[in-house]
Structure 1
Amino acid sequence: MIIQRVCLFMLGLAMAGASLAPQEAFAQKVWRHGMVEAKSDAGFVFMVDKGGFAKKHGLNIEMMQFKGDALALKALLAGELDSYEGSPGAPLLAASRGADVKAVGCYWPGLTYVIVTKKDVASLAELKGKTFAISSPGALPDLFARAVLEHAKISSDDVQFAAMGSDTDRFRAVSAGVVGAAATSSEFTPMLDKMGLKVLVHAHEVAPDYLRFCTYMSGKTIATRADDASSFIAAEVEALRYAMSNRDAVVKLTKEMTSAKDDDPRASFVFDEVNRYNAIDPEMPISAQRMDWMQNLFIKTGNMKTPVDLKKFIDVSVREKALTKLTEAKR
């Protein structure tokens, strides 16, 4: 009799555990977020997931990496992502053609990007006739390269663009002499001198209004998953607030995500450069003025034919709800 009661008790515990598991799984809603593959800014990008901030807001985040942000946009429009982060270039181009994409927050308003060349290239004018490494047409490296050429009053027809994949791929292509110049993130700056390369120009000098990273969602996702969408942005804001105040944690996470060696200087360099240029704003505001500057730039470079209605392209509701959630959580 005692054995029977024990068995029934154990069976009850097992059934309770079985019924609890689905509830716990249900509480953590899946949110699929895309970004460019991990590099030396990964500590900022992945903090929302690895720092536990998404789970704190009830989301089980799936981070999906892409070779370029234009590919992430395609995944968003195909319904394979709930959000992604990248340059406003490709989303503006897509929106001008009627695509359902909205900017919901911009956490990296300062563009920490450079044009890398061999040391013997003395000026932007010398880029004429050279092969320019980009990632893919319409992605950040391509659009930034065109912005630099427009600043220097050089026609894009005077250079040849070559798709070279990631920042690392483009950096190696310049180093090997396969291409004459490359648009890359500034993370390789500490390594350039020993490779016989240099920064020809920094985005801060020629394109101070160029937005680097904003977060995008489809209008459908915002309408059907409004609470989850604001929870994700709330998690992002909290993660970025934490990251900006915790250099060691950001550098450590970056090296973990990129499998970098302990003596690799790039993660530290990126963090310090972000602070030097105030490149990240954890509150994720969207500057309509900068967005308008960008689309006017793309019209000048021939990427866009007509401007988009920024009041429709920018959705402030998600961020406003997110900030309200964070304020209420403090009470």
Structure 2
Amino acid sequence: MKPRRRLVLPVVVLAVLGTGCGVGSGSGDRDTWKIGTLQCSTDCGFLRMAEEQGFFKRRGVDVEFVTLQSASQALPALASGEVDAVEQNAGAFFIASERGDLDASVIGSTMIGLPWAIYAKKGITDLRQLQHKSMAISSPTGLPATIANVMLARSGVSGKAMQRLNGGGNADRYRAVVAGTTDSASSPADYVPRAEKDGVNVVALASDIVPQYPRYSIIARNDRVAAKPQAVRRYLAGLMDGFRYAYAHPAETKRLAAKEAGTTSGDSYITYMHDLIVGKRLVDPDAGVNRQRLEYLSGLLVKSGQLHRPPDLGKLVDERPQRDALAMTNP
């Protein structure tokens, strides 16, 4: 039961949201859990430890990972039925749910904190200077755009007054700033250690401006949770095993991150992110649903105009699989 990983989603599954979850609603193999994830980098030591150590196999579940090319693919993949669940920022899910696009729930988390930054070209050192400038994001409702809107609003800048560019994946957006094809970019904090050398300014960190903002929630189709209760519990239990192991074995965690990033464990690119995750406890070892952070997120989205009203978390959160998994890991 070694986890399987596919690198790219077929284009055919990228259906436009609005078709609902009726497409591809078959439950598939009840002992398999298929999850869509974004490509990790310096955070791989935490996000892939369960896979690396074989914890899913030990828990008796076959996990198949489908690697998404960008955040904009996550919810369409879930809506189409290509995957049982996705790792995605809950903000995009709340926005989609307000439109009635998805029958799904937040069932856990892989990274409850957000190591994120706004990068800008030389001469721009403050978020307020980004008024009427260009910014590389992914999709209008994806995490890069959502967190940028919130951070800009905190500084009195309207996101509507900016030119938004679809800059592709995380590294692509950062490289666009380096190349000078955009004034700024919203991307993970992975690139902070190299920004000065690249001639790029780190204008703001999410952990400073919106410290309670969550990064990755696990969002699952409700029909798949109902059809495969053992698979989802065992998947979450294996995830918890991996997170706890990563915290307890920092050297191995940095080595795994370095292997995935193609560098050494002593590289500042690796050590910066590891220290940030550990120091701010950005990964919950229990893969929990943090309602306080989700409420904080929904409030920010309402204030920034991306939601008309706060979502009903009673309908959009299902903590039962995580509680069952927690009981499995703490007998």
Q: Deviations over 1:217-246 (max 9, x none)?
A: 111111111111111110111110001121
Give secondary structure in 2 for the equivalent of 1:194: coil
**Matches of 1:111 and 1:209 in 2, distance apart?**
8
Q: Deviations over 1:82-134 (max 9, x none)?
A: 22212111111122222111111124222110111124213211101210111
Task: Indicate which of 195, 211, 215 corresponds to 1:212.
Answer: 215
1:170, CA displacement in angstroms? 0.8
**Matches of 2:311 and 2:128 in 1, distance apart?**
32
The one-letter amino acid paired with 1:244 is Y
Give secondary structure in 2 for the equivalent of 1:200: strand
**Matches of 2:113 and 2:305 in 1, distance apart?**
23
**Matches of 2:209 and 2:268 in 1, distance apart?**
26
Task: Indicate which of 47, 56, 60 corresponds to 1:58.
Answer: 60
Task: Indicate which of 285, 293, 297 corresponds to 1:282.
Answer: 285
Task: Indicate which of 65, 89, 95 corresponds to 1:87.
Answer: 89
Q: Determine the structure 2 residue equivalent to 1:78.
A: 80
Confirm or deny: 8 A CA contact 2:122 2:199 kept in the other structure: yes
**Matches of 2:139 and 2:78 in 1, distance apart?**
17
The one-letter amino acid paired with 1:55 is K
Aligned residues: 302
Q: Deviations over 1:52-108 (max 9, x none)?
A: 011111122211111223312211221111222121111111222221111111242
Q: Deviations over 1:136-156 (max 9, x none)?
A: 221111101101111011111
The reply on whether 1:242 has 2:239 as its aligned counterpart is no
Query: More displaced, 121-130 or 168-177?
Result: 121-130
Q: Taking structure 2 as the reference length, what is the TM-score of the superposition?
A: 0.86
The reply on whether 1:296 has 2:299 as its aligned counterpart is yes
Give secondary structure in 2 for the equivalent of 1:201: strand
Q: Determine the structure 2 residue equivalent to 1:105.
A: 108
The one-letter amino acid paired with 2:252 is A
Segments of 5+ residues of structure 1 without an aligned counterpart are 1-26
Q: Determine the structure 2 residue equivalent to 1:6.
A: none
Confirm or deny: 8 A CA contact 1:70 1:90 kept in the other structure: no
Confirm or deny: 8 A CA contact 2:177 2:184 kept in the other structure: yes
Q: Determine the structure 1 residue equivalent to 2:328.
A: 325
**Matches of 1:272 and 1:28 in 2, distance apart?**
38
State the percentage of identical aligned residues: 28
Question: Who wins on radius of gyration, i.e. which is larger?
Answer: 1
Task: Indicate which of 124, 129, 132 corresponds to 1:129.
Answer: 132
Q: Per residue, is there more helix in 1 or in 2?
A: 1
Q: Determine the structure 1 residue equivalent to 2:185.
A: 182
Segments of 5+ residues of structure 2 without an aligned counterpart are 1-28
Q: Taking structure 1 as the reference length, what is the TM-score of the superposition?
A: 0.86
Q: Determine the structure 2 residue equivalent to 1:20.
A: none
Give secondary structure in 2 for the equivalent of 1:120: coil
Q: Deviations over 1:188-244 (max 9, x none)?
A: 111111111121111111111211111111111111111111111101111100011
**Matches of 1:322 and 1:187 in 2, distance apart?**
31
**Matches of 1:154 and 1:106 in 2, distance apart?**
30
